[in-house]
Amino acid sequence: MTTARQAGLVTCRTCARVWPMQTESCGRCGMPLTSREPMSLQRVWAWWLAGLVCYIPANLYPMLVTETLTSRSDDTIIGGAIEIARHGDLGIALIVLIASVFIPVIKFIAIGYLALSVRMRSQKTPVARMHLFEVIEFIGRWSMIDVFVVAILSALVQLSVVASIQPGPAALAFALSVIFTMFSAKSFDPRLIWDYLPSRAGQGAS
């Protein structure tokens, strides 16, 4: 088991070719090369915090403002899901809840856990943490469902006085929260997970 770094090489994360350690950019795909992303954890936390800050108004303010002839209703994310469930569409309500509440919360916890575990130089379960990271990268985008629903509905439901739907301030906050947490996950360099493992070659990570 030799890592590229132990062999004095640097791996391109885009095309997987290896170059001598001091190489600045990949000769094959042109990406800048870093043995480990500089300040990876700081950038993870910065985006993470920005995402969390946006996530609070995203839940407090209305996502959708529905106006009909007789009524006006402001739906927050959770309120909207409850509304759908009340109509009997439990499956769709579940999709909304999972995409807008469950996934973001899991994401905040999981990214925080990964960043902390690297900071603490944890040696436990690197394969499981790697899988967790892959899952986080995969599911993060799905939170955009609710933003798209708002965009669709406010374009579609413009029936003069009969009914109209306007986006609420939470739509912007939520979209930003999703995008920031995607950046946060992207800033995490998974190679850090493996750096503090006891090396069989006897060369510790520097």
Partner 1 sequence: MASPQDVPRAELIGCPNCDLLHHAKHVADGERAICSRCHTVLIAPRAAAYNRALALSVANLILVVAAVFHPFLEIHAAGIVNRVSLLDVATSFGSGALVVVSVTSVAMILLVPLLRAVFLAYALAPLALQHRAYPGARWAFRVTQQMKPWAMTEIFAIGCAVALVKVADLARLNFGPAFWMFIVLSAFVLLVDRSLCSWSIWAALDEAEQEPGRGTAPAPTVRP
Which listed range, 38-46, 51-59, 112-120, 134-142, lies at the site for partner 1 (CB under 8 A)? 134-142
Rounded Cα–Cα distance for residues 105 and 123 (Å): 25
Q: How far is the CB of 56 from partner 1 (least distance, A)?
A: 17
Q: C-beta of 153: minimal distance to partner 1 in Å?
A: 5
DSSP single-letter state for residue 70: S
Among 111, 171, 177, 187, binds partner 1 (CB under 8 A): 171
Nearer to partner 1, 45 or 188 (CB): 188
1 binds partner 1 per the rule CB under 8 A: yes
Of 119 and 148, the one with the shorter C-beta distance to partner 1 is 148
SS3 (DSSP) at 121: coil
The DSSP secondary structure of 79-97, one letter per residue, reads HHHHHHHHTT-HHHHHHHH
- Residue among 85, 92, 97 at smallest CA distance from 143: 97
Q: Is residue 20 at the binding interface for partner 1, with CB under 8 A as the rule? A: yes
Q: By CB under 8 A, is residue 135 in contact with partner 1?
A: no
204 makes contact with partner 1 (CB under 8 A): no
183 vs 197: CA distance, rounded Å: 26
Angle (nearest 5°) at CA 33 between 28 and 37: 145
Distance, C-alpha 166 to centroid of its chain? 26
Applying the rule CB under 8 A, the residues between 36 and 65 that interact with partner 1 are none
Q: Which stretch binds partner 1 (CB under 8 A): 44-52, 104-112, 117-125, 154-162?
A: 154-162
Please give the residues from 76 up to 115 whose contact with partner 1 meets the rule CB under 8 A. Answer: 80, 83-84, 87, 89, 92, 95-96
* Contacting residue, 3, 34, 122, 199, with partner 1 by CB under 8 A: 3
Region for residue 25 given its phi and psi (left: phi exceeds 0; alpha: psi -120 to 50; beta: otherwise): beta
Q: From the list 17, 34, 37, 122, which residue makes contact with partner 1 (rule: CB under 8 A)?
A: 17
**Amino acid letter for position 56:** I
Q: Which of 46, 53, 106, 137 binds partner 1 (CB under 8 A)?
A: 137
If the CB atoms of residues 86 and 119 are measured against partner 1, the closer one turns out to be: 86
- Residue 109's Cβ-count burial label (10 Å; 0-12, 13-18, 19+) is exposed
